[in-house]
Amino acid sequence: MSLVRRLLDQAAATPDAVALVAADGSELAYGDLRRRVLAVRHGLLDAGLEAGDGVLFSVRPSAESLVLALGVVAAGGVVVFADPGAGPEMFTARLALAKPRWSAAEAVVYAGSRVAPVRAYARRRGLLLPNLAELPVHGHVYTGRWLPGVPRGALPYAALERGPAPEPDTDPDPDAPAAVIFTSGTTAKPRAVVHTQTSLAAALDLFRARLALEPGDIVHTDQLMLGLPTLIAGARWSLPPLGGTPERFARDLEMRGATHTFCVPVHLAEILDVAPRLPDALRYVLLGAAPAPAAILRRAVAAAPAAEVLSVYAMTEILPVAIASARDKLAHTGPGDLLGAPLTDVAFTDDGELLLAGPSLCRGYLGDPPLTRLATGDLARLENGRLVLDGRKKDMLIRGEFNLYPGLYEPAINALPGVTEAAYAGVPDPDTGDEEVVLAYVGDADPDALRRALRDVLDHDALPDRVVRVPDLPRSGRGRKLDRAALAERFSP
């Protein structure tokens, strides 16, 4: 059974239950969600959307974006998340690879890419939007109120959701592409992950089982991959406001009675700065998108003693791979970062690189042959049936004959008193090709005292050449992951 069919069936079984609480507090019932998805599906098909059509998707998380994305997939289309804010050159390269036949965007995005004053304002904010209205596509859909810049003939989402909502005679092929997610690459060779309804449904089932989702639960997150299993379980998805403050996030957790929540580790730290105690109703606090330092794990456990604090190891290509409790991670005293029992099929190359396979593995990369196994680039091992991460192959630092993998040692450093977070950076020596190893850390530990403490927890060859206290570590992307290259630039001559 396809992912969308499962959601529609759940909605039909509990039509009066609340499915979604929007950022402004408005509620959407399951029955209304179902009717709107079917109406959007019908309207798109009536307008000419065909099976396999890519729909460039530029709508931020909201009730409208959820219904629109589900309607696209229910109609047999493919949601293409290409991020028009990535910059004109990257966007153009991604567009050339994806070749979408449709564009769906907020009216303000169309205006911001076409109307001179709005475009100038966006440029001052560092956002260089492409002209979506001039894309060579079959049709456009816009959300929100009409604004100058919306292309002539574009379909208003509001009209689609109010249209006829006939029951479908057949469902799209669950093994056909359903979502395209650009993750990395360059303008010369962008990279996009292709998921099917089957692979996404398998991932959702893993999340749903581990988080014990059931009717009556309230999941506060803007993450689609947690929101969808919430809906399939008949629970309630609570959306935080876009760009909301940590204070607002903490307040919504309390006011909406959240039982589950998801945070990027850095975001959780900001929330705990203003709300040291999380609501008692919380049963699960999920951390992901970036490694969770020991200091943040300890704070999360103290802030929500009745909840299970979990750290997710996942990749866009296959998720989740493993989920470990904060208590287990903190109790791990050996080298490396404990990830938890694998939820997928695992294997290892001769040099220790982790290979993954299983039902939740994506179909492959757009334009490339299908994947049967994913080479992660991560060095890992199994220890008592649990995955332990030793580091990233590409993060390796070279010191003479010793190859230093930061991920093998950083968890132990992060667990030391006075260290909030620490990271290695390699500063290349242009004469020798070797690297000076710098350990940068955030915290109140004295650098000399920390250097002495490192001798008790690190191999001799892994001891840094320099220990430097910094106000913060550079981050990038929505997940606010450590930007190791930017960190190294701080210390380069």
Q: Where are the alpha helices (DSSP H) in 14-62?
A: 30-46
Of 114-128, 228-242, 245-259, 269-283, the poorest mean pLDDT is in 114-128
Could you give the CA distance from residue 207 to residue 418 in angstroms, rounded to a whole number? 34
Predicted confidence (pLDDT) at residue 429 exceeds the cutoff of 70: no
Residue 465's CB is within 10 A of a number of other CB atoms, namely 12
Residue 348's pLDDT band, with cuts at 50, 70 and 90, is very high
| Chain centre distance of CA 317 | 11
pLDDT in tens, 147-178: 988 999 999 999 999 999 999 989 999 999 99
Confidence band of 77 (pLDDT split at 50, 70, 90): very high
Give the count of domains, the chain.
3
Side-by-side strand order, sheet with 155-156 = 155-156, 139-143, 102-106, 54-58, 78-81, 177-185, 190-196, 364-365
pLDDT at site 123: 55
The pair of three-digit structure tokens given for residue 171, joined into one six-digit string: 């469902």
The verdict on residue 116 lying in a domain is yes
Of 272, 306, 340, the one marking the end of a domain is 306
DSSP three-state, residue 270: helix
Q: Which domain holds residue 163?
A: 3-13+30-172
Phi-psi region of 40 (alpha: psi -120 to 50; beta: other; left: phi over 0): alpha
Q: Are residues 167 and 215 in the same domain?
A: no
Gyration radius of the chain over CA positions? 24
Mean pLDDT of the chain: 89
Would you call 67 helix, strand, or coil by DSSP? helix
Residue 362 within a domain: no
- Give the residue, 264 or 477, on which the prediction is more confident: 264
Residues 323-341 pLDDT 10s: 999 999 999 988 889 999 9
CA 322 – CA 354 distance, rounded (Å): 12
Give yes or no: residues 9 and 133 share one domain: yes
Please tell me the pTM assigned to this model: 0.83
Domain boundary pick from 284, 306, 328: 306
Helix or strand or coil: residue 442? strand
pLDDT the model gives residue 481: 80
Among the candidates 141, 172, 203, a domain finishes at 172
Structure confidence by residue, pLDDT tens digits, 93-104: 888 899 999 999
CATH (domain of 439): 3.30.300.30
**The pLDDT of residue 407:** 85
126: helix, strand or coil: coil
Share of the chain above pLDDT 70, in %: 92
If pLDDT is split at 50, 70 and 90, which confidence band does 455 have? confident
pLDDT at 434 over 70: no
In degrees rounded to 5, what are phi and psi of residue 235?
Answer: -90, -170
Q: Phi, psi (5° rounding) for residue 486? A: -65, -35
On whether the CB atoms of residues 419 and 449 are closer than 8 A, the answer is no
Residue 184 lies in a domain: no
**What pLDDT shows up at residue 187?**
61
Mean pLDDT of 214-233: 94
Could you tell me the pLDDT band of residue 23, with boundaries at 50, 70 and 90?
very high
| pLDDT of the residue at 250 | 95
Q: What is the DSSP string of 445-461?
A: --HHHHHHHHTTTS-GG
